[in-house]
Amino acid sequence: MEVDDFFEQEKHFLSNYYDRIKGSFAKADRMTSANKNVADGYIHTAACLHSLALEEPTVIKKYLLKVAELSEKLRKVESRVSSDEDLKLTELLRYYMLNIEAAKDLLYRRTEALIDYENSNKALDKAWLKSKDVKLAKAYQQEYCQNLNSFLNLQKKS
């Protein structure tokens, strides 16, 4: 039974880890969206400053054009930061989420194989007691035993 406790703890750990990664993914996604919104704000600021510079006298015009140019450069930097975060951080978190889901699925399938094996053992015991369908019950028990052993061999490899 200590093996089952170990796998239950693993399932619990993976569920908690998945929830935390999912939360981090949502926060990173919101942060990326916020950075994109900031970059869009710089576009509007640069456009407004540029149009204002065209209507102002020559003394202020030069400064407004420089600030508009600075806003455009800031937009490019903010867009690059947003793209990098989206490509690196959110994709990495998405990758972790997929791997955790695969691990949870494997643990679930292992548990199902163990339950099937235990049920086949009970069915074999009943068949022995009733002296009825013993060969069929034994065949099922061997099939489920092989299925469980394949999971155990998979675990030993990893």
Closest CA to 47 of 79, 80, 75, 83: 75
Q: Is the pTM of this model over 0.85?
A: no
* pLDDT tens-place string over residues 31-48: 888 989 999 999 999 999
Q: Provide the token pair at 59.
A: 């003394």
Domain spans of the chain, in order of start:
2-157
* pLDDT at residue 54 in the model: 86
Chain segment 108-141, per-residue pLDDT in tens: 888 888 888 888 888 888 888 888 888 888 888 8
CB-neighbour burial class of residue 76 (10 A; exposed 0-12, middle 13-18, buried 19+)? exposed
What is d(CA 50, CA 20) in angstroms, rounded to the nearest whole number?
A: 45
Q: Is the pLDDT of residue 10 over 50?
A: yes
Q: Options 1.10.150.120, 3.40.640.10, 3.40.50.620, 1.20.1270.60; which CATH number does 2-157 get?
A: 1.20.1270.60
Q: Where are the alpha helices (DSSP H) in 86-131?
A: 91-130
Record the tokens describing residue 35, joined without a space. Answer: 């950075």
